[in-house]
Amino acid sequence: MNTALIVGVTGIAGSALAESLVADGWKVLGLARNPERQEGVKPIAADLLDEAALRGSCQAQSRCTCSSRAGCDRTQRPRASVSTARWSATSSRPSGRRGSVRHVALVTGLKHYLGPFEAYGKGDLPKTPFRENQGRLDVANFYYAQEDELFAAAKRDGFTRSVHRAHTVIGKAVGNAMNMGTTLAVHATICKETGRPFLFPGSLAQWESLTDMTDAHQLAAQMLWAATTPEAADTAFNIVNGDVYRWSWMWGRIAE
C-alpha cells in the first residue's frame, strides 16, 4: 500500500488531497498543529516551528509522499514556509535512510510570478500568461526559498519532487478562514441578513481584470498524478481550472 504524509492536512489543499488519496486506497498520515477528524486519515499533531517535536512525532513513518503548505499569519509565513519545506524534505526520512521517501510535492502559487505580499505586483513582471519556465523575480520570495530547500534535499536524498503553482484555491476546510469561498459566503450572508447591498469588496482593477481559480480537488488530482507518473518527476506545474473570467461578469451570478 502506498503511504502519504500530508503536511497541513487541515488546510484547503491538504483536506482535498487527503480525500483523494483515501479514495484511491492510500494510507494517509495527516500532520497539523490541531488535527481534525478526517475519514481514513491517521492524525499527527505537531508544530512546524518545533523541529525536535516534529522529528519525535514522525520518526517512525517511512515511504511518504509529502505535501508541504504552512498555515500561519503573514508575519510568520516566510519562516514557517521554509521550515515546512525543509522538514518535509528531510525529517520524514527515518534514521537517515536514503530512498525511504519516494516523492515530495510542494504547493506554492501565483506569488511565484507576482512576488510576496510586500512586493506584490511591483517591478518588472513577466508577461501573461505565466509559464512555468519563466525566470524568478529579482526579489526575496519565500516560495523560492521553499523550492531551494526542496531541490537540495531531492538531490541529496534521491527522491523525485514536483511544484504545484495554483491560483486562488477554492475548497472546503473547516475552520480555515483563508478561503475565498468562505469569505464570499460570509459577506453575502451578512449583506442579506442586514439588508445591505452586496457590493464587490475589491478594487476597480480586480473588478475589470481577467482572473481564474483553482479547485482544491483539481489541485489534488494533479498532485497525485505528478507523484505517481515518472514523466512528471522534477517538474513545476501551473494548475488552474481553465475557465477565465472577470468579476464584473461573475459578481451578478454569485448574487443570484
Q: Show which residues are catalytic.
A: 111, 143
Check residue 93 and report its DSSP letter: S
Which residue, among 228, 241, 231, has the nearest Cα to 105 in the 3D structure? Answer: 228
Strand partners, 5: 29, 66
* Residue in the structure block whose three cell numbers are 519516494: 102
CB 109 within 8 A of CB 166: yes
Supply 29's cell numbers.
498520515
Supply 101's cell numbers.
521517501
Nearest 5°: phi and psi at 245? -150, 175
Nearest 5°: phi and psi at 5? -110, 120
